[in-house]
Structure 1
Amino acid sequence: MCHFISHKKVTWLELFYDLVYVAAVSITAHVLAHSHHGTIPVDVILKYILIFVPLWWAWTGFTVYVNRFGQDDSVQRIAYFVQMVFVIMMAASINLDFGAYYLFFMLGYVGIRLSTVFMYMRGWMQRDGEPRRISRYLAISFLIGALISFSSVLVPGDGKFIVLYTGIVVDILLPLLGRRRVLSKLPVHHPHLLERYGLATIILLGELILVIVNGLREDHITGATVVSAVLGFIIAVSVWWHYFESSEHIAGEDRKSSGQSVIYGHLLTFMSLGIVANVVHYGFHHELTPRSFAWLSVAGFVVYAISSAIIFLPGKHQAQIVRSLIRTAVFVLVAVIVLPLLPSVEMIYAVLAICFAGYGLAEGIVRKRGKQAGN
């Protein structure tokens, strides 16, 4: 069965599909740019999370389907285009007044999930053996989740949000519950999966560069704005360095698994990049108090570090796993302890850039030494 997917490569249609999602993610990240009296209100942070999770899961669902069963035929291409229409619906519905736009957002999400269910049902009918069994399990699982979410239209008031996210949680948990019994029988194609998530990550890093460019354009270029731009660029380069240094390393490992560490870990990676984009935004526009800016910076770094520990944890050697976790824990502790103690936004921003740069360089040094030892 591995021969069925061993040739998989990213297609131009997949890249087109990613761009539509990145537009939605960019709009979602902008939610955190709404500060009030020097802080980001708790309800704004909650809305960022609640909007982000369905976007990530909708993208992930079809991405993993294509990884296992993609054929690049006319039906699959049409499914891509149908999903893109629903993504546009979701993106157009993203607003701080989430309740007013809820119906279109929910219909967009459910439409994406049902089109993914259709593709799994198609596989269920066409395939034999383990591919048929996995297609059936995921088709039924995702149909249950989508129907629960859709039933939220029958619930008045804020109860509809509970029903919507109950469906999403069911959708997310059922593949985890079926990992050993079902999904492990047909591993994902890891190089393709890493390439798909890597391309989405680099497009999101492009959004971070756009924040830097806008920051320079919106204000008069002064010494302070140049410093803000340089620090933001250092952060972007450091994330790129760390992420792709790590990704290249695990892509070379012969992993046979359901890929769930990569899949679920990237929820945190993508979410962290949205947070970091807002850190850079507030680095130009000093709309947050130093304390609020510090905790936003801590959140961006810590969420990214945790995600990388999940995604890029070495797969074979116990000693490497322990060293990787210790290295991540040290950088996380430094960020959590030091950043909130700093007295100004400028100092916090500079130390955050140092944390990201140090984390990226440390990973590069470790990987280089590992290659030299292997040789």
Structure 2
Amino acid sequence: MAYAPMTARSRDEAHRTATPLELFFDLCFVVAVAQAGRQLVHALAEGHVGAGITGYLFVFFGLWWAWMNFTWFASAYDIDDVPYRVATLVQIAGVLVYSAGIPRAFNDNDWTVAVIGYVVMRLALTAQWLRAAAGETGAARRCALTYAAGLVLCQAGWVALLWAPEGSRRWLFLVLVAAELLVPVVAERRHQTNWHPHHIAERYGLFTVIVLGETIAASTVAVQSAIDEHEALDVLLPIAAGGLLLVFAAWWIYFAVPAHDRLGSNREAIPWGYGHYVIFAAAAAIGAGIEVVVEHAVGKAHISTLSANLSVSVPAATFLAFVWLLHSRHFKRGPAQQAVLPTAAAAILACAWTGTYAVLWAGLVAAAAVATGVTLVHRTRSEGVKRQEEVRS
């Protein structure tokens, strides 16, 4: 059976939306997100802050980078035929293997299973790029071949990492991360792939929603378990309420502006896409932090109240700050609107020093930031309408 060649889709394609296969892909990646969050909870609850954060950021990079590479490739070349679907399903299998290896990588610095899963994902994507190269000519073909070559070289580096001395693996990991990040920059220096701005913005938004949903699920399970085991509803209710307000506010703030309007070329899109590593990692870490606070409230976490509170306030503040940095600030009008999210991020961080009600205070600050932002935008629009009416009269 012959299949049509893989050629780039149009950047101007109307009604370009996420496919059911892409949504399935995202949901399977959340398994790995949940594993990373679970390991972060255990590390923070035991007071292993440095090792916990480092391990979390490392394992999160692998799953985020594989997700991101597939997303941008699919935006340009998704033809939804049988070979494309099979290659995508192989990548899903790879992330499930990667997920199974997260505990060993996190706790024992043993990356064997994680690297196997990662290589499976990347080799499937390499096959996709080679297929794209076969259907292209000129600069587009060279771009696709450069992607494939870069992927192969990086995967050889990850495999070699397994034989490196254990003490040097974390430093070599950073070198390989830098190499991975350079592949798109080098591949697209003379030819930009035909990724679709609206589709990319939607894909990132959907993954943000899924990660926030995982945060709610993890927090709910933690609160429920604590209630069942300790019957401490009066202590846990403020934590649950504050956590819910944080997640609601995070969703509202992220989707307050149309991100696709900023994605005109790689010059804007690459920093925006790369910066979402922090947004996604912070969103998932909010749920882990709430779990830590719950465990501290019932006496299961061996850390101080301040340390427990910081496990929520730091990722929540980071999320707000990076959403503002990557796209919200480009749509704000005037110093008052610009100041809302940075001020809220600083205030949420300060809430860590408010004791046992820190999560509730942080949630209230986030809710106030949403209310203030909505009010300022409405006021600006009303003033604009009023000025137009005065000009007409």
TM-score, normalization: structure 2?
A: 0.83
Q: Is the 8 A contact 1:20 1:87 kept in 2?
A: yes
Partners of 1:4 and 1:47 lie apart in 2 by: 38
Match of 2:270 among 242, 249, 260: 260
Q: Which moved more, 1:299-308 or 1:212-221?
A: 212-221
| Cα separation, partners in 2 of 1:75 and 1:373, compared to 1, 3 Å | farther
Which residue of the partner structure matches residue 391 of structure 2?
Answer: none
Amino acid paired to 1:194: A
Amino acid paired to 1:309: W
Which residue of the partner structure matches residue 199 of structure 1?
Answer: 206
| Cα separation, partners in 2 of 1:111 and 1:355, compared to 1, 3 Å | same
**Cα displacement string for residues 336-366 of structure 1 (whole angstroms, at most 9, x for unaligned residues):** 4x23432x132x1122112322333334344
Partners of 1:15 and 1:254 lie apart in 2 by: 24
Q: What secondary structure does 1:154 align onto?
A: coil
Match of 1:356 among 366, 381, 393: 366
Superposition deviation, residue 217 in structure 1: 2.2
Superposition deviation, residue 327 in structure 1: 3.4
Match of 2:310 among 273, 295, 299: 295
**Cα displacement string for residues 229-262 of structure 1 (whole angstroms, at most 9, x for unaligned residues):** 222211111111111223xx333x2742122233
Q: Is the 8 A contact 1:9 1:192 kept in 2?
A: yes
- 1:52 paired with 2:60, answer yes
Which residue of the partner structure matches residue 332 of structure 1?
Answer: 345
Q: What secondary structure does 1:158 align onto?
A: helix
Q: Is the 8 A contact 1:212 1:281 kept in 2?
A: yes
Amino acid paired to 2:161: S
Superposition deviation, residue 189 in structure 1: 1.2
Superposition deviation, residue 314 in structure 1: 5.0
- 1:228 paired with 2:239, answer yes
Which residue of the partner structure matches residue 274 of structure 1?
Answer: 284
Superposition deviation, residue 5 in structure 1: 5.9
> How well do the aligned residues superpose, as a CA RMSD in angstroms?
2.8
Which residue of the partner structure matches residue 166 of structure 2?
Answer: 157
List gaps (5 residues or longer) in structure 2. Answer: 1-7, 386-393
Partners of 1:113 and 1:374 lie apart in 2 by: 50
Which residue of the partner structure matches residue 124 of structure 2?
Answer: 115
Amino acid paired to 1:72: D
- 1:90 paired with 2:101, answer no
Superposition deviation, residue 193 in structure 1: 0.8
Q: Is the 8 A contact 2:122 2:151 kept in 1?
A: yes
Q: Which moved more, 1:133-142 or 1:192-201?
A: 133-142
- 1:18 paired with 2:26, answer yes
Which residue of the partner structure matches residue 154 of structure 2?
Answer: 145
Give the share of equivalent positions with the same residue, in percent.
21
Partners of 2:183 and 2:151 lie apart in 1 by: 8
* Residue-pair matches, total: 365
Match of 2:353 among 319, 341, 349: 341
TM-score, normalization: structure 1?
A: 0.87
| Cα separation, partners in 2 of 1:282 and 1:114, compared to 1, 3 Å | same
Superposition deviation, residue 23 in structure 1: 0.7
Amino acid paired to 2:210: I
Where do residues 27-66 of structure 1 align in structure 2 (5 Å cutoff)?
27-35=35-43, 39-66=47-74
Superposition deviation, residue 195 in structure 1: 1.1
Match of 2:255 among 226, 244, 254: 244
Q: What secondary structure does 1:143 align onto?
A: helix
